[in-house]
Structure 1
Amino acid sequence: MATTPQKPPPIARTLLNKAFPSADADRIFTDKVLHRPLLLQPTDADPKTATDARSHRQQARAKARQLSLHRAHQKPKPLSAKEKRLLRVHEIPASARKYNIYEPLHQMWVGYMQELLGGQVPVTPAVVAKLVSAEFVGAEVEVVRCRCVSRVGIKGIVVKDTRFMFEIVTRKDVVKSSLFLRLHSYRDPIPLKVIDQSLGIPKEHAVFRFEIPTPEQPGEDALEPRNLVFELHGSQFEYRSTDRASKKFKQRNLDDL
């Protein structure tokens, strides 16, 4: 008659026998291994209604991805440069082409320049460097020299300062502006469009003059204000206002003067 082979004792029981007496090993094995409670957490087959932490994290990530995709589709696409030109978003509307609208802006600009100068008379090279990096929207400029003689004498408040031109409004409520395209193979700008058939004021080959009233000093005659007069050479000023604010200008000889 064949005998059934005996099963080897559990590995945990063998290890406990080596570490503890037989009675203690039996008690520990019974309490800690055989009768150890197995804690089970019921899970749901549907992941949408699952309650475990891992499912919550997965659902949160999926919801965040859906929300980001929804926002990306809802966010309007920025206009291209061509679309901005066609929509004329940078042009001043006819209702805003009034000189008296920009007179308070000019007064603010005068106060800004007086604070920038700090009452330093005579003007030092350090102050001139500050003037070059200053903002000129609101300045009242006059064309005193230009290759195109018909532009000499034009005077008004700067309402837009671009890289290659000043856009000003005159006392006759005329906005002097035009659009220009600069080609790499040509130095002179090519006019593409003239607004209101008015003359554009490009910076190149033009000299602009502007005045800054000095603050009144005690004891001085108020009827004789002292103005600081500056001349700005546009050919050396072909920078955007944001670029001038961070650019360091160096003194150098100007061959075209």
Structure 2
Amino acid sequence: TKTFIKNHIPKTDHVHISGASMKRLSLSGRQVAPKKVSPRKRKSHLNLKEKRELGLYNLSPKGLKYSEFLPLHDLWLQYMREVLDLKDFEKSRKEINLSDKVLEAVNLKLTKADYHGAQIKVIRSRCPSHVGIEGIVVMETKNVFKVLGKDDTIRTIPKELNIFTIQVDKYQLTIYGKYLCCRSSERSTKKIKNYLLPDL
């Protein structure tokens, strides 16, 4: 109250009190509006652990037919024709030698390519039982190809231990599996040194 204030301040300041309006002051300080907590955005993709738990990396050994994957192989051939730019390659192939930049570019494209749907064959291996295995790649992981053979059997082939051939139209290409030991999605963006390129 005014009386209380007058009793506790010098008389010389009383004149300022009489003309001033009394205001309520908040002892708790300035009120801060609470922050709005935005709902957490739901991730749009599964991580590796979740994919494994869902069984996305497990192929049933039964029920898959080689004939059903031939359309996938046809799509892969179309994809590789574009990746390798075979029309331009055909025009200049007579002038190509092992030191040409054109061949080096083809090697790089092969290293970065996706092999889901490719028809591959093992021609050399540290494991003799792998030699001669061929089929369509139905799954590719960091270290292995899972290949579906004409007998409708899925076989798991380690990349590092084997040398493969693939056929794109009239071109037979030889690929060293040890240079493909990473996921296809990583190979497409990973910078690869020239000395790691596979041989044709």
Q: Pick the TM interval, shorter chain.
A: 0.5 to 0.7
Matched, 1:92 2:59: yes
Length, aligned pairs only = 166
| C-alpha displacement of 1:100 | 2.0
> CA distance change for structure 1 residues 125 and 107 in 2, over 3 Å: closer, same or farther?
same
How far apart, CA to CA, are the structure 2 residues paired with 1:96 and 1:126? 39
C-alpha deviation, 1:8, in angstroms: 6.0
Amino acid at match of 2:168: I
Q: What RMSD over aligned residues (CA atoms) do the two structures have, in Å?
A: 3.8
TM (norm. structure 2) is: 0.67
Aligned residue for 2:176?
Answer: 233
Amino acid at match of 2:161: H
Tell me the CA shift for residue 240 of structure 1.
1.6
Greater alpha carbon shift after TM alignment, 100-109 vs 245-254: 245-254
Q: After superposition, what is the alpha-carbon deviation per residue over 1:179-237, rounded to whole angstroms, capped at 9, x for unaligned?
A: xxxxxxxxxxxxxxxxxxxxxx1112211110101xxxxxxxxxxxxx11111111232
Q: Deviations over 1:24-70 (max 9, x none)?
A: xxxxxxxxx89xxx9xxxxxxxxxxxxxxx79x54xx4xx54x74xx
Q: Which residue of 167, 172, 186 corresponds with 1:211?
A: 167
The gaps in structure 1 that reach 5 residues or longer are 14-32, 39-53, 178-200, 214-226
Higher Cα Rg, which structure: 1
How far apart are residue 104 of structure 1 and its match? 1.1
Task: State the distance in 1 between where 2:53 and 2:171 align.
Answer: 41
Which residue, out of 142, 154, 172, partners 2:151? 172
Structure 1 residues 7 and 134: alpha-carbon distance in aligned structure 2, compared to 1, 3 A threshold: closer
What is the percentage of aligned positions where both structures have the same residue? Answer: 32
Structure 2 unaligned blocks of 5 or more? 1-10, 23-30, 94-101
Measured in 2, the distance between the counterparts of 1:235 and 1:84 equals 25
| Cα displacement (A) at 1:86 | 6.7
1:97-246 equivalences under 5 Å are: 97-118=64-85, 119=87, 120-121=89-90, 122=93, 124-177=103-156, 201-213=157-169, 227-246=170-189
